[in-house]
Homo-oligomer: A and B are copies of this chain.
Amino acid sequence: MPLPKVVSVGAGFGGLSCARALAGKPADVLLVDRHNYHLFTPLLYQVASSLLNPSDIAYPIRAVFRGARNVRVRVGEVAGADFDAHWVAVRDVDGGVVQRLEYDYLVLAMGSSSQFFGNVGIANASHGLKDLPEALELRNHVLRCFEAASGEPDEEARRPWLTFAIVGGGPTGVEYAGALVELIRLVLVKDYPELNLRKVHIVLVEARDQILPAFPKVLGDDAELRLRQRGIDVRLNTRVESVAGDGITLSGGEKLRSKTLVWAAGVKPSELVAHLRLPLTRSGRVEVDPHLRVADYERVFAIGDIASVPYRGGEMPQLSAPAMQEGRSVARNILRASRGAPLETFRYLDKGIMATIGRHDAVALLGGVALKGLIGWLTWLFVHLYYIIGFRNRIVVLIEWAWDYFRYDRPIRLIERAKESKS
């Protein structure tokens, strides 16, 4: 009996976990992604704040599966699909060549992108933190702001270059805000002795009434206190209404003048889910059954940020841990289905959530235990190091972290200009 052909779209946490769980098992897997690397997104904000390099958190997918004879890799994008005839069309990223790939089982794990809630002006004016090009572009931009401020003799004109608005008080916004303030106060202060860096103004905007709204109140309040102690201007119950040039208008009417708007305020599922006409819930995520199969399509699974998995009266949060567990569950179910065994029901085991604020400072909720400060920070360090792929990457990240910790330095302060591609 031939091995089941599995096509998996997306090599993020969900798709990669699924493919890894199928490596060495009786299945023929083709893993497709737009990029040739898997990205460890939780540390993307450290690329944006000049602490890590892209190669420290991006792992070539082919390297992950070097030893796995039954997993092949393809760099491309999904152009279409026919769920009745059981094929997906994949386009080469650079050429236009489209190939039809037939499958016995299809795993959709395309992930999400920044959610601007329909505000095109904000979408165009802001910097995202969802992928590598965005993180690098934000890094370059922030460094350029300091160069521009340094060359600007007029104090009023200098202000927008040194004002930074971060929208979104969840882990991404909080972690980036904390890292940015450390980059400036510990490192850039040495590079720009001519600038008065007390004039730097970092504003963190959160629509709800608590920083880290998904965390227990005691931890959210603690995080808010620590951020304020570090000089970050935290605005709760506040939204960004509009952006025009340097002017950022907040709900309530206040207008900030800033050259930097960082958007970390929410994600929405890949546009592909609508393009492929999958059944969606009201939130725009794909409807799945208790085995993570797409409603109506027995051979198609959906996992990760795109999937609407019922959880505690709502939907599963769009985080890496659920995606990884769903990926492994789908791998087990594909193997069961292919041998005619009954499928398992997916059950999420919530191990906890964490967010770091800076040196010696993080909040974590692990196994129901709330951790703060230094112990929270050490936990944060170890858990993140554990989940990074590759021994070398762990060593490099550890060295970068140690260098930053002991030397108060972030040596990756390079402004790289993008070069147009010829190929």
Contact = CB atoms under 8 A, between A and B. Distances in A.
B144 A413 contact: no
Contacts of A145: 423
A94 B144 CA distance: 8
Interface string A369-412: 00000000000000000000010110110010001000101011
A136 B136 CA distance: 13
Given A75-B147, A94-B148, A127 B422 contact: yes
Interface string A65-109: 010000010111000000000000000111101010000000000
Contacts of A407: 392
Contacts of A53: 53-55
B137 A419 contact: yes
Copies of the protein in its oligomer: 2
Nearest to A52: B55
Contact of A418 (B60, B125, B421): B421
A343 interface: no
A133 B8 CA distance: 33
A227 to B, nearest CB: 25
A140 B60 CA distance: 12
Contacts of A332: none
A37 B136 contact: no
Q: Helix, strand, loop or mixed for chain A's interface?
A: mixed
A141 B191 contact: no
B411 A132 contact: no
A190 interface: yes
A143 interface: yes
Contact of A411 (B35, B92, B143, B392): B392
Given A137-B422, A392-B403, A421-B137, A414 B36 contact: yes
A420 B423 contact: no
Nearest to A421: B137
Contact of A60 (B37, B75, B191): B191
A415 B36 contact: yes
Contact of A37 (B124, B125, B414): B414
A194 interface: yes
Contacts of A62: 191-192, 413
B72 A194 contact: yes
Contacts of A76: 151
Contact of A422 (B95, B125, B151, B419): B125
Given A395-B399, A418-B419, 10 more contacts: A36-B415, A37-B415, A62-B413, A72-B194, A125-B422, A132-B414, A133-B419, A141-B421, A392-B409, A396-B399
What 6 pairs across the A-B complex have the smallest Cβ distances? A418-B418, A133-B419, A62-B191, A55-B412, A60-B413, A141-B423
24 contacts: A36-B143, A36-B413, A36-B414, A37-B414, A53-B54, A53-B55, A54-B416, A59-B411, A60-B414, A62-B192, A75-B151, A92-B147, A93-B144, A132-B414, A133-B417, A133-B419, A136-B416, A137-B419, A137-B421, A141-B421, A144-B423, A390-B411, A395-B399, A418-B419
